[in-house]
Amino acid sequence: MPQEDHVYSYSAVLMGSPILLKLFQHNEHLAHQVFRLIKHYENLLTVNRSPSEVMNINHAAGLHPVVVNPAVYQLIKCAKAASLLPNSAFNLAIGPLVKCWKIGFQGSSVPPAGEISARLALTSPHQVILDDEQHSVFLAQAGMELDLGAIAKGYIADRVRDFLHSQQVFQGLINLGGNVQTLGGASQVSGTPWSVGLKKPFAGPDELIGVIEVEGKSVVTSGTYERWFEFAGKRYHHILDPRTGYPLDNELHSVTIVSQDSIDGDIWTTLMYGMGVEQGCACLANKPGIEAIFVTKDRRVVLSSQQLFTFTLQDSSYQLV
């Protein structure tokens, strides 16, 4: 394919993930600016090291409100709204539970039930008090902690897209490790989509169930196979159920969301985890801009609808529904 000759790839390791940028021009300066932008937002949003704006909020829990950067404020406001949806599995105040499970870090055992229930009491999104005038955030109880780990990549992927648009770049791809945001198509010949692999759970990094094709859309996958530990013969993964304090346990191995904005992909992967296939598909029937690809433990691939992407199954041990 001659058009492949025009794709230039740039990579870096940021946010603990390999980052890949694809452009249709050789422009190291632009790539450098993109990686700097990612680093800038990572520094604002991280909860794993000080100083960051989110860490400042957490450190002031139960003490006083903290005025934050307007962008951080808007992201927190959006995350709070998602957390307050009826029966939402997404919770921006999940921090105390994430810290006690430590999944993906050094966690390797199930915390005592008493500790989980004590931490659960510190995760109410209602207790995240926002002030639109001041752009301040106040965690009303001592011990509360915001965790934006589920949405930071999506938010940043959208900012990279907006930055590239501002530089008159309308074709390209940014992959933040699980979050792929595409600009335009995959070739200067119009009508050529980008291909994004749907990973096979608990298999080698290059093993795919199939391929998702999109143009100018975000593709976000969240899987129980990404970060987990095994304890007494049972697997515990990193997406926690804010209603119980334990990892979400249902028929799913992964959820992929195709949408315009990657932040929506991030929020909806978590919401869909909480709902499962049947309820999730029913919910998305009224949401034309958000489409889901569910991969179940019994090897079904369920598409909620297919307006924004095409999907090609490659692994015949899976059944497309």
Contact between 158 and ligand ADP (CB under 6 A)?
Answer: no
Cα first-last separation, the chain? 32
From candidates 44, 45, 72, 150, binder to Mg ion by CB under 5 A: 150
Give which of ligand ADP, Mg ion, none residue 315 binds (C-beta under 5 to 8 Å, depending on kind): none
- Residue with the closest Cβ to Mg ion? 266
Instruction: Tell whether omega for the bond before 51 is within 30 degrees of 0, i.e. cis.
Output: yes
Q: Give the whole-angstrom CA distance, residue 266 versus residue 257.
A: 8
Shortest distance (Å) from residue 76 CB to Mg ion: 16
Tell me which stretch binds ligand ADP (CB under 6 A): 128-136, 229-237, 239-247, 302-310. Answer: 239-247
Residue (30 or 152) nearer to Mg ion, CB: 152
Dihedral angle at the C-alpha atoms of 229, 233, 239, 245, nearest 10 degrees?
-110
Among 172, 201, 242, 265, binds ligand ADP (CB under 6 A): 242
By three-state DSSP, how is residue 52 classified?
A: coil
Asked if 266 is part of the footprint of Mg ion (rule: CB under 5 A), the reply reads: yes
Strand order in the sheet with 66-67: 66-67, 136-139, 128-131
Number of residues lying near ligand ADP (CB under 6 A) = 18
Task: Enumerate residues 6+ apart whose C-beta is below 8 A from 132.
Answer: 77
Q: Which is nearer to ligand ADP, 39 or 227 (CB)?
A: 227
The phi-psi region of residue 299 (left if phi > 0; otherwise alpha if psi is between -120 and 50; otherwise beta) is: left
Candidates 46, 58, 91, 254: give the one binding ligand ADP (CB under 6 A): 91
CA 53 to chain centroid, in Å, comes to 19
**Residue 53, interface with ligand ADP (CB under 6 A)?**
no
Question: Given candidates 57, 198, 240, 272, which one binds ligand ADP under the rule CB under 6 A?
Answer: 240
Instruction: CB nearer to Mg ion: give 23 or 157.
Output: 157
Residue 68, class by beta-carbon neighbours within 10 Å (0-12 exposed, 13-18 middle, 19+ buried)? buried
147 binds Mg ion (CB under 5 A): no
Residue 72 touching ligand ADP (CB under 6 A):
no
Phi-psi map region of 134: left, alpha, beta (phi>0 left; psi -120 to 50 alpha): alpha
Q: Which is nearer to Mg ion, 125 or 223 (CB)?
A: 223
Residue 38 DSSP label: H
Instruction: Tell me the closest approach of the beta carbon of residue 254 to ligand ADP, in angstroms.
Output: 10
**Token digits of residue 6:** 């025009």
Give the DSSP per-residue string, 292-309: EEEEETTSEEEES--SS-
Residue 98 as a binder of ligand ADP (CB under 6 A): the answer is yes
Q: Does the footprint of ligand ADP cover residue 178 (CB under 6 A)?
A: yes
The reply on whether position 180 binds Mg ion by CB under 5 A is: no
Give the binding site for Mg ion (CB under 5 A). Answer: 150, 222, 266
Give the binding site for ligand ADP (CB under 6 A). Answer: 89-91, 94, 98, 104, 147, 149-150, 178, 222, 226, 238-240, 242, 266, 270
